[in-house]
A and B are shown apart, each in its own frame.
Chain A
Amino acid sequence: MKDVTFGQYYPSHSFVHKMDPRVKILAAIAYIVAVFLVQSYHFVGFAACLLFVLITTAAAKVPFFRVLSSIKAILFFVFLSAVLQLFFHKGGTPLWEGGFITDEGLLSAGFIVARIFLVVLGASLLTLTTSPVELADGIESLLTPLKWIKFPVHEFALIMSIALRFIPTLLDETDRIVKAQKARGADFESGNVFKRAKALIPVLIPLLISSFRRADELADAMDARCYAGSKHRTKYKRMVPTYRDLIGVLVMAALITGVVLINTMLPF
């Protein structure tokens, strides 16, 4: 349990890993926009997006199968959307006499599948190359303008980072409680779904109680270290964009221009 890495962060010292998390988050959003900009059936645009994913994966020194494996989680969803497209797409000529699957339906199913795959690949590149802590810091920094509308950005960021900090601790604790309850004869493996869900109650209740105790102690420790909200607070960690981020921005701009150009230039 000690070495559990939550999320799917793949540690490395690559070009992409060293980029500013804020730039990466914005780039991921821009990438998703680019994928959605690709107009119907312009698979050339998708090819451009795929090329971008491949280049980024190489620059991030992440094994490509790690990027691909993120698709596993959404396979069922993709399959469902493809089937729906196949059966309910109106228009086009049937593939065979009297059949209800049309050529256009097939095309649009392929289109949807490609779109979802590309979006997920790009998004997973973000989480593969950016640790949860960096992500939280990046989100905090990007949300800073919301302070103008009195959104508690600092508190929000603190909640995120404390949650991240306590995930491994609580996993450890869960492990310990499960073992303790097993030693007392608890049975988590047999019985139907309901029985097994019920067997989890003796794990969840101690976990809940201990979480409250932890929260209490943490609050004391924070008070003792002079915590008083965001007022007069300085920040040690600073994110400074480098030449890497400039290159990242340029590549993103190239991708979006490419997709738009393909949309307008290629006749369909």
Chain B
Amino acid sequence: MALLEAENVSFSYDKKNMAVKNVSLSVDEGEYVAIIGHNGSGKSTLARLFNALLIPDSGKITVDGFCSSDKNALFEIRRRVGVVFQNPDNQLVASIVEDDVAFGPENLGVKREEIGERIEYALKAVGMEKFRKSSPTRLSGGQKQRIAIAGVLALKPGILVLDESTAMLDPQGRKEILEVVRKLNAEDRVTVIAITHYMEEVLHADKVFVVNDGGIAMQGTPAEIFRRAKEIKQMGLELPLAAYIAEKLRQRGVPVPEGIMTEEELAEALCVLLPKI
């Protein structure tokens, strides 16, 4: 059985306009899943539905066997699905890093000694163990967001949902977060659901869902998705730069192979082509 499953989920904030329409998807344990869509496509609503901050109007979401429509399962779901939000400033609760990371385990009623261990684990996992006693206000955006991730990791969730967690960061901060998240996925086997509108963040995913107008418009591996450049553009999204250049070169008659996503792949392909031109 899938770790997280959505079946025909619909949700509306105002009972008139549907924010999420009839979405079905499943995420397996250990997967890195990306959900991409432009602003207002309903992707952030999905994040809130996944950890029971919102309850579907129809359809159902199950996490590890717990259904979010069941009120008693609320905390079972939230401790399994950790969400990191967009603005790092607005999700830190305490004025000292370790106190903030302790907030989640404290809420769960974890014993004091174990909270200490969890703080250590979580801060090490995001590479911030040196800042345990610091004040978050003096950290950079990327560092603050790493603390926010640590705060969620301290809950020991099986699933980490990143709701546009890199959107407010500079390129350096964005890189930091992506590295941390990929490491968590690869080494600690944390299932990751990355919600974003940056195509670059989709590249390393096992599975991509493209959300448009509240529904899932496409799904597949990143390579499969990028092959459908035209549709992606129509949905208001942009290809990663390398894929975009490859696409343009193909249109000009340069036989660049399909499925190029990263700059390294593009360079490799061009080097192969160079002697032939």
Contact = CB atoms under 8 A, between A and B. Distances in A.
Nearest to A235: B106
Interface residues of B, number: 40
B75 A236 contact: no
Contacts of A51: none
B171 interface: no
Contacts of A222: 93, 103
B211 interface: no
A140 to B, nearest CB: 13
Interface of A: 2-3, 132-133, 161-162, 164-165, 168-169, 213-214, 217-218, 220-228, 232-238
Contacts of B148: 221
A236 B102 CA distance: 7
Interface of B: 48, 51, 53, 75, 78-79, 82-83, 85, 87, 89-96, 98-99, 102-112, 115-116, 119, 137-138, 148, 151-152, 155
Contacts of A213: 90
Contact of B152 (A169, A225, A228, A238): A225
Contact of B95 (A133, A217, A218): A133
Given A165-B93, A168-B137, A169-B137, A225 B109 contact: no
Nearest to B96: A133
A226 B75 contact: yes
Nearest to A131: B95
A161 B111 contact: no
Given A232-B109, A236-B115, A223 B95 contact: no
A208 B44 CA distance: 25
A220 B85 contact: yes
Contact of A214 (B79, B89, B107, B138): B89
A226 B108 contact: yes
26 contacts: A133-B95, A161-B93, A161-B94, A161-B95, A164-B95, A213-B90, A214-B89, A214-B90, A217-B85, A220-B53, A221-B85, A222-B103, A223-B53, A224-B53, A224-B85, A224-B152, A225-B155, A226-B75, A228-B75, A228-B107, A232-B109, A233-B106, A234-B109, A234-B112, A236-B99, A236-B106
